[in-house]
Amino acid sequence: MTQPTKSPIPSKVNYPEVVDQTGINLFAFDGEGVSYKDNPNKSYSWKPFQLKITADQNPDPGNVINDQAHYLQVGAILFVMYNFEKSDGGSDGSGDYIFSMPPGFKVDTDIVPVVPSASFGSPFTCLGTCRAYDYNEAVGYGFVYPCSETGLVMRVQEGSTGSYKSVSSSDYNLSQKDVHYSFSAQIPVKV
């Protein structure tokens, strides 16, 4: 058996030099062949937005230490990441806490059923994972669900009891001290 004199695998691959994120995104296209860079309705990098927490009666977050929300749209999928932390002060409000979508986006209800209540007796679609903590509750890990075309709710399994609870005026509420919320969600949106 003779050994080949030249390897079929190149020893060096000449990849184009990437100088910044913009250069990469010039080549990202949607399903219709339109560059995300050339279409103002489509984002091509993570963008910050002001996420609002509302309820039947709106809560007051108190002394906020960290409040960061970002989104990235890739075709008809919207990726959202949220991190929130407060020290003290604030008020509960009333009802389940609803976390707003970025302005201009709506859940595609042809793909995702929207359930007004986060009760487990209802059909719902998990869009992502979440974590909630406050000084008086154990850390809760759970899921993010759509409760309207423009709102999301967090349901967490509380660590000490194992029961599922909505993040609301009753549990993991904003009147507590040292409250933390975080979630990551992948949301089918109307384009």
Residues 51-68 have pLDDT tens digits of 999 999 999 999 999 999
Q: What is the pLDDT of residue 135?
A: 80
pLDDT at 36 over 60: no
Q: State the Cα–Cα distance between residues 41 and 104, nearest whole angstrom.
A: 9
Rg (CA), the chain: 22
Whether residues 130 and 158 fall in one domain: yes
Nearest to 179 by CA among 112, 120, 117, 132: 132
Q: What is the pLDDT of residue 11?
A: 42
Whether residues 53 and 107 fall in one domain: yes
Whether residues 26 and 65 fall in one domain: no
Q: How many residues does the chain have?
A: 191
**pLDDT tier, 110 (very low <50, low <70, confident <90, very high otherwise):** very high
Mean pLDDT of 27-48: 59
For residues 76-94, one letter each, b for 16 or more C-beta atoms within 10 angstroms of the residue's C-beta and e for the rest, the string is: eebbbebbbbbeeebebbe
Higher pLDDT, 116 or 150: 150
Q: What is the pLDDT of residue 117?
A: 63
Q: 10 Å Cβ neighbour count for 24?
A: 13
Residue 127 lies in a domain: yes
pLDDT at 78 over 80: yes
pLDDT at 156 over 60: yes
Q: What percent of the chain has pLDDT over 70?
A: 72
Whether residues 40 and 56 fall in one domain: no
pLDDT at 29 over 50: no
Average pLDDT, the chain: 80
Tell how far CA 68 is from the center of its chain: 11
Whether residues 81 and 107 fall in one domain: yes
Whether residues 28 and 65 fall in one domain: no
Domain that includes residue 58, residue range:
46-188
Residue 24 backbone phi and psi in degrees, to 5: -65, -45
Q: Where are the alpha helices (DSSP H) in the chain?
A: 21-25
pLDDT at 142 over 80: yes
Q: State the Cα–Cα distance between residues 84 and 59, nearest whole angstrom.
A: 14
Whether residues 58 and 39 fall in one domain: no
Residue 2 lies in a domain: no
Q: Which amino acid is at 179?
A: V
Q: State the Cα–Cα distance between residues 30 and 42, nearest whole angstrom.
A: 9
Q: State the Cα–Cα distance between residues 107 and 101, nearest whole angstrom.
A: 9
Residue reference for tokens 């903590």: 133
Q: What is the pLDDT of residue 41?
A: 54
Q: State the Cα–Cα distance between residues 26 and 9, nearest whole angstrom.
A: 29
Q: What percent of the chain has pLDDT over 90?
A: 57
Mean pLDDT of 24-44: 50
Q: State the Cα–Cα distance between residues 116 and 6, nearest whole angstrom.
A: 65
Q: State the Cα–Cα distance between residues 143 and 154, nearest whole angstrom.
A: 6
Q: What is the pLDDT of residue 39?
A: 56
Quote the pTM value. Answer: 0.76
Residue 49 backbone phi and psi in degrees, to 5: -150, 160
